[in-house]
Amino acid sequence: MSDNHPSGAPWRNFYGRFKGKGLRDSQKGYLDDLAHLSPGDIDWDTNPERHHIDLAALFGEKPVWLEIGFGGGEHMVHQAALNRDVGIIGAEPYINGVAMLLGKIRKANVDNVRVHPGDARDLFDVLPDESISKAFLLYPDPWPKKRHHRRRFVTPEHLEPLHRVMKPGAELRIATDIEDYVRQAMEEVPRAGFAWTAVRASDWRTPWSDWTRTRYEAKAIREDRTPHYLTFLRT
């Protein structure tokens, strides 16, 4: 039996949610923005040859950052407003989160973002090698049950293509409140070709200077879980 979809796409299991509770009418209107905020042909049906996205056509000569699973978009819009000389691509399959992000983009009046409302692995397929200058993985789905740990992002299936698309020396930031996620990240991320930068405890206990608290971090603190801020450099 072939491992591929008839379009040529590899079979990839997806275990998260695509949609939650009903969208408000205003949020449904925001989704109309997706057409012109798309980073390019990512679908296998429209790009079966997996041609690379033309990042220069999207952002000119700006360095390009990537946020993987942007949730409600608080951090992504914060960074876009703070760094207007950078282009930021966000990947998020949860359509309710995408709608929230689109509303925040309008309010912040930022134009240096592009949105892939889907699996980051499909985006990796079409990003050019060594094209991403910084990447963020912030409060990813923890998949707390041991039998589900292979679903976490910090596995070779995700980290190897991420390494390929990041520039040498590019920064990868991971924030999580789950200690076992920290353990797995510290095992798997260096194996994938990233060097941990911390030299003292404050390096992973203290948020980055340009950090903004997300709803997930606020929930973690309310529930008395400790955030961890891990910084790696792509080798």
Q: Which of 113, 129, 120, 223 is nearest to 178 (CA)?
A: 223
Token code pair at residue 232: 């790696």
Q: Which residues contact 134 (CB under 8 A, 6 or more apart)?
A: 63, 65, 66, 170, 171, 172, 173
Element (H, E) at 89: strand 87-91
* Residues constituting the chain: 235
Token code pair at residue 172: 């990868």
Active site residue 180: no
Token code pair at residue 222: 């309310």
Element (H, E) at 65: strand 64-68
- Name the catalytic one among 45, 85, 129, 141: 141
Q: What residues act catalytically?
A: 141
